[in-house]
Amino acid sequence: MIDAARLHHVERGATPGPGTPTLVLLHGFTADHRLLLTAVEDAFADRPGWRRVYLDLPGMGASPPSGVESTDDVLARVREAVDRLVPGPYAVMGESYGGYLARGLVAGEPDRVRGVALVCPVIEPEHERRDVPEHRVLVRDADLLRDVGAAALDADEIGVVQTPQTWRRTQAEVDPGVAAADPETVRRVSSRYAGTFPVEPRRYDGPALFLLGRQDAVTGYRDAWRLLEHYPRATFAVLDRAGHNLQIEQPALFTSLVGEWLDRVTEATADR
């Protein structure tokens, strides 16, 4: 769905209604909703009743640029979309840049956000200040090497597990969104990438999940450890054999840990 100056979104699961638990999903920078769609839907295979709202950020996917000039503007558009689409409480999952935005949503309305999941999140917006490991390929499948060639695999600066399956999923779930992003929006927001909104001004007591790749050379895992005490109900998982596309490279663990987090959100919401 889309209209002028509003964010495109894709919905799955239950129809909106009083008491319907809703998960809002925010993708990473220059991707689109497809980045999380396949991976997250697997976690809902035996969890009926939830509504899932996958947003395309401004100027990405099928969302119009909407005049955004900075990450502050992007967060403002996301808040507008959430207020329009989800009038009540909700849980939020953010991947990479989407995790940075999710932290802003939680800081702004902690009582409304019933749970937060951060997947390879941006903790330090200034790239040069991030504490990240060097990119390292752990698995390179011989059949994939033969099919696509060493040059193509060497050009992949994110993949840690290079197999036919991860390659196909990256082409289907990551690459189309990156290709669809509006270059001018990307340039403008990149120049004002660090937001001025608060993140973790006080502790957040809802169920939380940190999913981090041990070999993630984009956002790393060490910076996130500094935030753990702000989230006293957080599961903090650093997965080996996983880079910045953790949900593709470790799908079974992703599904299991996200499912357990959803169960905790359901339990905490019922207690309220």
Asked whether residue 171 is assigned to any structural domain, the reply reads no
Per-residue confidence (pLDDT) for residue 87, from 0 to 100: 86
The alpha-helical segments, DSSP class H, found in the chain are 34-43, 71-85, 97-108, 142-148, 150-154, 164-173, 175-180, 183-191, 222-225, 246-249, 251-271
Per-residue confidence (pLDDT) for residue 95, from 0 to 100: 98
Asked whether residue 148 is assigned to any structural domain, the reply reads no
Per-residue confidence (pLDDT) for residue 103, from 0 to 100: 98
Which residues make Cβ contacts (< 8 Å) with residue 83, sequence separation at least 6? none
Tokens coding 129: 């200040």
Asked whether residue 163 is assigned to any structural domain, the reply reads no
Name residue, tokens 């799908």: 251
Q: Measure the CA–CA gap between 83 and 88, rounded to whole angstroms.
A: 8
Which is nearest to 236 in space by CA: 258, 264, 211, 214?
211
Asked whether residue 147 is assigned to any structural domain, the reply reads no
Q: Give pairs for 75-81: CB < 8 Å, separation 24+.
A: 75/101, 75/104, 75/105, 75/195, 75/197, 77/7, 78/7, 78/26, 78/105, 79/105, 79/108, 80/6, 80/7, 81/6, 81/7, 81/9, 81/55
Asked whether residue 102 is assigned to any structural domain, the reply reads yes
Q: Name the 3-class secondary structure at 73.
A: helix
Domain holding 230, by residue range, is 9-133+178-271
Which is nearest to 71 in space by CA: 24, 17, 125?
125
Residue 119 backbone dihedrals phi, psi, to 5 degrees: -110, 115
Per-residue confidence (pLDDT) for residue 66, from 0 to 100: 83
Name residue, tokens 């080996």: 240
The helix or strand, by DSSP H or E, that contains position 13, with its residue range, turns out to be strand 9-13
Name residue, tokens 């401004």: 58
Asked whether residue 266 is assigned to any structural domain, the reply reads yes
Per-residue confidence (pLDDT) for residue 5, from 0 to 100: 52
Residue 265, domain CATH: 3.40.50.1820
Asked whether residue 141 is assigned to any structural domain, the reply reads no
How does pLDDT run along the chain (272 residues), one tens digit per residue?
334 458 999 999 999 988 899 999 999 999 999 999 999 999 999 898 999 999 999 999 999 988 899 999 999 999 999 999 998 999 999 999 999 999 999 999 999 999 999 999 999 999 999 999 999 999 999 999 999 999 999 999 999 999 999 999 999 999 999 999 999 999 999 999 999 999 999 999 999 999 999 999 999 999 999 999 999 999 999 999 999 999 999 999 999 999 999 999 999 998 77
How many domains does the chain contain in total?
Answer: 1
β-strands 9-13, 51-55 pairing: antiparallel
Per-residue confidence (pLDDT) for residue 1, from 0 to 100: 38
Contact (CB, 8 A) for 117 and 200: no
Asked whether residue 160 is assigned to any structural domain, the reply reads no
Answer yes or no: pTM beyond 0.85: yes
